[in-house]
Amino acid sequence: MIYVLNGPNLGRLGTRQPEIYGSTTYADLVDLCLVTGKRLGLEVEVRQTDAEFEMIKWLHRAADEGADVVLNPAAWSHYNIAIRDAAALLRGRLVEVHISNIHSREEFRHHSVISAVATGVVAGLGVDGYRLALEHLARFVG
């Protein structure tokens, strides 16, 4: 199982700042991840939450299962130590994904507290970053 976990406001894709995040809807993103997973022979589960406690619970579950995770922590990237600590518990690989290039945006977005515990980071490639993250993780499955 590979979990694709999305943080706050990502459920608003397609309507939230399309000049930054594009016109892809959240439903389109879920489909992209599921189709990519199927093509790669992966079991993929995609989730989104605006609730910190729920994200922590999902990361704990992934840690207990030894699962790999694709995580877009969204705004939590920049300050949320509780999410970072839960991500640090993962025994599987963690790929942090950002739709926008966080390094070319506002100063406060330039640093992610999650990156230090991630296997790798994909930023600025739009929703295609999710496909790339799944393709990377597929190399290690089986």
The DSSP line for 69-128 is EEEE-GGGGGT-HHHHHHHHT-SS-EEEEESS-GGGS-GGGS--SSGGG-SEEEESSTTH
User: What pLDDT shows up at residue 95?
Assistant: 98
Q: Is the pLDDT of residue 17 over 80?
A: no
Binding residues: 72, 78, 85, 99-100, 109
Mark whether 111 is an active-site residue: no
Burial of residue 37 (CB within 10 Å: 0-12, 13-18, 19+) is buried
pLDDT tens-digit profile of 51-73?
999 999 999 999 999 999 999 99
Mean pLDDT score across all residues of the chain: 94
User: What pLDDT shows up at residue 37?
Assistant: 98
How far is the C-alpha of 37 from the C-alpha of 33, rounded, in Å? 6
Point out the catalytic residue in the list 98, 110, 130, 136. 98
Q: Is the pLDDT of residue 94 over 80?
A: yes
Domain enclosing residue 13, as ranges: 2-138
**In which band, very low, low, confident or very high, does the pLDDT at 108 lie, cut at 50, 70 and 90?**
low
Q: How many structural domains does the chain have?
A: 1
Binding residues for substrate: 72, 78, 85, 99-100, 109
pTM, 2 dp: 0.93
Q: Is the pLDDT of residue 74 over 90?
A: yes
Of residues 108 and 95, more confidently modeled: 95
CATH number for 44: 3.40.50.9100
Give the rounded percent of residues in the chain with a pLDDT score beyond 90: 82
User: What pLDDT shows up at residue 87?
Assistant: 98
Point out the catalytic residue in the list 21, 60, 103, 130. 21
Of residues 27 and 103, more confidently modeled: 27
Q: Is the pLDDT of residue 32 over 70?
A: yes
Mark whether 98 is an active-site residue: yes
